Structure 1
Amino acid sequence: MQEGSLSLTPSFRIFYLRLLGFCFLYFSSVAGTQAECPVQLSQQRVVVRYNGSVAVNCNTSITHKGMGWEASEGAVPMTRDKMITWRVSHLTEWDIEPFCFINHEEQCQVQLLVTIYKTPDSVSISIVDHSGPMIEGQQYKLQCDVHDVAPVQNLTVKWYKGQTLLDKTTFTEDSKTPLNETATLLIRPDRADDGAQYSCAAELELGAEGPQPPPNKTSESLSFTVYFKPIIDENKLPSIVPVFRGYPEVLVCEAEGNPKPTISWILGTNVIVYNETLTISESTPEHVYCIADNSAGRTTRQVNVSIQDISISTVSHTGPMIAGEWYELQCFIQNVVFKIVDVRWYKLNQINVTETIKTPANLTYKVRIRPDRADDGAQFWCEAKLEAKGPQRYSTMSSDHLSITVHSKPIIDENKLPSIVPVFRGNPEVLVCEAEGNPKPTISWILGTNVIVYNETLTISESTPEHVYCVANNSVGRTTRQVNVSIQDISISTVSHTGPMIAGEWYELQCFIQNVVFKIVDVRWYKLNQINVTETIKTPANLTYKVRIRPDRADDGAQFWCEAKLEAKGPQRYSTMSSDHLSITVHFKPIIDENKLPSIVPVFRGYPEVLVCEAEGNPKPTISWILGTNVIVYNESLTISESTPEHVYCVANNSVGRTTRQVNVSIQDISISTVSHTGPMIAGEWYELQCFIQNVVFKIVDVRWYKLNQINVTETIKTPANLTYKVRIRPDRADDGAQFWCEAKLEAKGPQRYSTMSSDHLSITVNSKPIIDENKLPSIVPVFRGYPEVLVCEAEGNPKPTISWILGTNVIVYNESLTISESTPEHVYCVANNSAGRTTRQVNVSIQVKPIINENKLPSIVPVFRGYPEVLVCEAEGNPKPTISWILGTNVIVYNETLTISESTPEHVYCVANNSAGRTTRQVNVVLKEDYLPLIAGLIAVTVVFISVIFIFIYSIYYKTAKMGRYSLKDAKPSAQNENIAQNGKHSPIPMKKLSQSDILA
């Protein structure tokens, strides 16, 4: 950098003025007496925010010769008023010491204590010399950095964890200007601190005169992870675990730690299992160890495995037991390390067999049982309740299950094998003999003297002996049951009729019963899916029973039969015998389906309809159609149109009869048209459509208007009073080519209650005013000098629009495109025109101009004094508005219109103004100047101090040799005084500086 010449800076001027003021005040304080000063301040101390305002009153109650405020900011000249105010709008002097002085008998002063404070720019918290997770129990240091705060001696840093105050840090530095301070806090985190939020707050405690509450600024929260050694859950993993032979146990080892611990088990010397659970059995070593391990440490828990044993057995008996006999069971317990509280006996599906044995004196327990046949396969076991130490106070050990086999004598099921069984001729019966016993019984039948059949079932018929016997036998015993066989006979038939029946005619059925050994309680007649046909016949006097029936079409294929209820002796008191089923055929006259063939059918011109005639009958009917006098069509369906006769007839015929149905054919017509208009329509105008309906034989329920892809155009017209219906439409450009039609909903009689007839579709043409495509023609178009642009104007309308351009007053160009340049007028207009209207769009032509930097505001050479930064301002004009940046050295770029430079700035900096039209650069040379003012100020200060010492020395000698007099300028005669003497005729001359006339107070 280049070195410059000496210049007088504002800071030196302030220093010089303060030095002169200090000397003056010092001499005044030495010369005056130290009596109490008769002035009062409205505030003895003030606290002011930096750059804030302050006002303090100084008043007196005595007559004086002048009072004022002396201060480096806001000084108040000497005045004769009794109250004066020191006021500063923006106080920025950190070490200001204002005082109010008064000239009474002598001059005195009272100083105002001023504290200027500034809240910190930022407060941040961090960990010192550490990163990553912390370890529980270790010591760490937190640091709180407070930037640019004053005064430091009033600063308190408070430390928080969450909302809890942990500690406070204060500072002793006696500095009035802002400083950067750092506070530290030692912490020893535990597992509860994992994820905890730490913060620090900087608070200025400025006393009662300061703002309340005190100014405070808090850092962002600091959260960290705390790693801690695993802790194994002893509630889930007891120290002693009993294991019963044959019943493995699962140990669960859960541990809490951070990071999450890994769990492993040590069994014996070399076996390690990596899992949270471990299955143990009687083969497991006596001691196993759960190890929970993570990066913070390792925890081990020993588990002692106690093998338990309990067994159940019979006493003095082996093999199956006999139902009803007494037997004894015993429970033997060994290797029990815990106290036995009680022993219980259990049988499957029962709580216990006998009473509980409390606190037994020995380890063998017995119980007597008397099994029955229900106990076959039952399982017995015993359980011992043990009292152990630990969270799970009680544990239970169970013996294996003892399954017993119980043998019992056979019992024949009498419900399945009655004592009397009726058998109808030609209908064999199967007898089933089932018996329950253990071992499983063998079944045999005895028929007569010598016939024995070994089987559970026996088929009997009219040839079977009157008495048969079922024998059930096993190793425990034998059971026999006698069965009496009773031969029965019953039949059903029609009386005086064969072949098909005719629906609606009367017929007679008879039921014949013979060889009945039991009393007949009643006889009932049945038809398939019905309980009975006629009333029940109670206690008949003979064995032939009749009933009259009148079948209908639903009875075709129905089955009839009769049943006789017999009263017998034995557990099954009543038995029933049924006849064979009698199936009948019923013929009936055809019935035409009127739901599928209405009496009136509308036919629209040009739209044939198909009539379907379906009829039900037995035998199946033949279908034919009669049209006019001589035309007969043999088919179930008939196609009709406007040429079909007004009346047609469907005829259904079979051997039972003939059925005819008349159908009336109604020709319909409907049309749509515009009212008082032909040709294309104009978008946005109103038009009227009409719907004309004629030859309608049904009631018109409503008329609806439709447009393609829409439900309807206007509201529905309900129950119209005439046959011409109108609707008003207002088409838009989207309706060009749209199709309109009307539909009439008709109410007819019959199963298809409603029918609809539609008009032909009416297609309309809609002319619309042009719409210019604004996406392809923006409102503002930039143009660079020497680079023409082409504008394209496209418009949509019907008929297709013609495009033209207007440039200035008289120039019109007929084309869809227009080439523009810097000579083009600022505003051009695209005009789209057709028979429906005209549309105009204005385009603003924006000429692009390369930036021009203002060299008046940015000189090419800028001097910089050490310690006094300068601000450079770079302004540039251009279209569009340029962006400003600065280039310092090789890689440093600053994006701003201003740049602050100092002695550390490179010798050459560049301002760059850039826009879409180009780029402009201006170089600025930075020249470094040296400042000699501090050296000169030091010399002046030494000289003033030297003179002050000499003055004090001379003054002290004079004060000792002569009494100090009091002098006044009142009635002074300036013309009689010489240049260096002031006197009043009473005392000796004293050295004084001559005062001018204007300095004499009245």
Structure 2
Amino acid sequence: MLLLQQLIGLLLINLAYGDYCPISFNPSEVVVKYDASFSVNCSTDRTDDFVLSWEGYNDTEFTEVISKREDVMDWEMQLTCYFQSNETQCSENLSVIVYKTPDSVSISTVNHIGPMKEGNQYELQCDVLNVAPVQYLNVKWYKGQTLVNQTTFTDTIKTPVNETVTLMIRPDGADDGVQYRCEAELELGAEGPQPPPKVTSDPLNITVYYKPIINETKLPSIVSVFRGYPLELVCEAEGNPKPTISWNLSTNNPVYSETLNITDSTPEELSCIASNSVGSTIRHVKVSKQDGNCPVQLNPQRVVVEYGGSVSADCKTYVQHEGMGWEASEGAVPMRRDTAMITWRVSDLREWDIKPVCYINLIEQCPLELPVTVYKTPDSVSISTVNHIGPMMEGNQYELQCDVLNVAPVQSLTVKWYKGQTLVDQTTFNDTIKTPVNETVTLMIRPDGADDGVQYRCEAELKLGEEGPQPPPKVTSDPLNITVYYKPIINVTKLPSLVPVFRGYPVVIVCEAEGNPKPTISWNLSTNNTVYSETLTITDSTPEDLSCIASNSVGSTIRHVKVSVQDKPTINVTKLPSLVPVFRGYPVVIVCEAEGNPEPTISWNLGTNNTVYSETLNVTDSTPEDLSCIASNSVGTDIRHVKVSVQDGDCPVEHNPQRVVVEYGGSVSADCKTYVQHDGIGWEASEGAVSMRRDNLITWRVSELREWDIDPFCYLNPKNGDQCQLELQVTVYKTPDSVSISTVNHIGPMMEGNQYELQCDVLNVAPVQSLTVKWYKGQTLVNQTIFNDTTITPVNETVTLMIRPDGADDGVQYRCEAELKLGEEGPRPPPKVTSDPLSITVHYAPMIHASKEKVSVVEGSDITIECNSTGNPKPDVWWSFNNKNISTRRRHILNIEGATSTSAEVYTCSAKNYIGRKDKNFVVEIIGKSPNYIPHVVAVLLALLVLLVLIALCRYLWKKKNNSGSYDIQSTELCPLSNGAKC
């Protein structure tokens, strides 16, 4: 019960406070100007006994709120409020930001005095003096009223500093006279002054020298001059410094003036040149000499207006006059003398043939008529057939008609005919009538099958010239769908005239046909054999000549088909192996045979530009390493790649396999092959000899090999040379009769830290050169041994392993394994024999396992300390206190009931066997009772504790059952101790 009270007390203290300190400031953060003052309150929401203080934990004043007023004379000012109660003490620091606005902010140019030049780069500098804290400083650059850049700082220094910020600029002519300024702003957050304090520099005016810009509005690129009427041109330009104006009429005739008088004798090409120290700008002018007798210009020179729409035109002159005006049946303008331009305007034009005239009074009056085109789009456009209803017949001629109603002017009308999206015809009109008319246009067509379902339409378009609306106004008829009856058209793409058929692979051919009405499909295989279907399955037995017939009411179409039974070439790979060995001095003839229909063509590819057309090929040691035989016909191609292997041996024979591995008493075979002409080939061997033959391949075979050191060889009698031979390498193996493991000169348990020898005996194994003996500890490979002995017959081998076990090895199993690694030709996986496992017992000193070395409980609670130990043999366990034993026999649990302050001591658990002894100290700490408990928390924790005890009990019983070396003695005799403990 005492232990439960202590646990509950500790938990309540932690739940009540944790890392939380019940202090709050008002304001929560202070932002104050240096050399000013501020006030702050420190308060708590606690209601029990507590103390708040600005000085530390020694103050004894009890109040819920304490206040403080401070004069700020320290840049790194700190203010701390302290809280203290019976249960805890803590403190909180007030966040204080001390700031100072700059003494000055100034802007200047770096390494430059005077005007700037357009396009060059310059550096501006902003100096901010004596500002703090720099972490909250933001330096902003302004060009006029526009923010162009800003810089912030990450330095955490709190005392005043000086900062310099630069800005790179590249001014142009538009920047001449502009003002730059920089601004230092302290962004101190929501608690700081609002708006944020800022200091702005005086403006920096910059002067920019830039090359002249000529006013192109006052000096057009084309100027019209009427004969006998001089004209004055003006060339104005802006620039810094102020530009000089000159006119270039020819190479050697400049005129220095802003104005220039031109006549019909002035050169056609002029140039105005504006220059200053920065550069020059040239405006080219073309003089257009007019032949008209009236020196006025109309803009536009022609007008196009929809009937009922608004229209206007300007009449302009460049000469002095006695008056100018407009004469018109609508919108006339009376004569005026005080203008060089006069406008004719009608807001709702309702006259089809209006002819406005601009006139000017010079020595005599002269007029200039403005051409006016008044147009109207058609009320409707429709399309129809003439004297025909229903489907059209392929090849016949039909007439289509397009009716265009109420359009003007007809001279600008174009009627276009479209078939789908394709323009097929168009008609224009020469009639000059300007009022609306109706027009009918016809189109003759001769449709075919491709036209079935096509749409025709006609379109009325008014082409009113460049002055008219863009795109030109148009009205389109509804589409006219036509149906065309046409005889069938067989899809020749899906039904070729020649159909190849491979033997054993039926082919389905398809006869698809389009036609209107829908056609009927039939196949004619012979005179009396007709198949009605779109598809036909053909085989190598189908007649060679077929016909597909597609018919409807319009006519019939026939597609003739020839069936060709064909075979792709197939090369005989038996006669042409992929690897051909060639021995030096022994040429080989290789043959490439292929079957196919049509009969294939055979060729050999020896390299990029070296092709031989023949079924046979002579191969020598100088032939390229990679060859290809290519068999081709119209059906396809078959390629056989051949690698030439030049052999350095003296005998032109080849073994397959080149080495054999056979178990003693097992069967074995090997081929001997040659590619050269010879008089005989055979095998010599103590078992399985083969007499000489004239074949190119001969096999050595033994069904039950009982000889350890057999050396078979293949011999050859070549036509050009002496007899030669090639020996076959044979490895005969035997797995061990037994593999066993034992200890050397030792019986019984092993002692931790001592060295012992294990022995592995492998009996009757061959060949020993292929043997590997592996040692395993559990599943881990710890060592292996190989042998260099070249003995071929079976032998016995003994291998040893030195070990030094520790406590962790108690009960571990060792085993050894004999494996024969016989190479790639040997069995897979390699044969192996494994010993029975050897289990070892290790005696070792006790080890104590404790999860907690320090126990803290509430005063009055019960204490249970558990000391678990392992060791072999099983150790004796006892408890001692102040160097006195407080338990006897094997006890690993110490119980203290109703712990008091005297129970706070060091208790020692000791474990001992004949190997050694281990001691473990446990510190007991007693915590005073907490005056407040929460009943609900107690109930929950009590339930959790009962659950934990049940889990611990189950765990203890399981450990006891498994005899782990830990002892849990529940029923013990308790002897009272002076400190309240019982043993």
TM over 0.5: no
Q: Which has the larger radius of gyration?
A: 1
Normalised by the size of structure 1, how large is the TM-score? Answer: 0.34
Normalised by the size of structure 2, how large is the TM-score? Answer: 0.35
Higher relative contact order (CA 8 A, sep 6+): 2
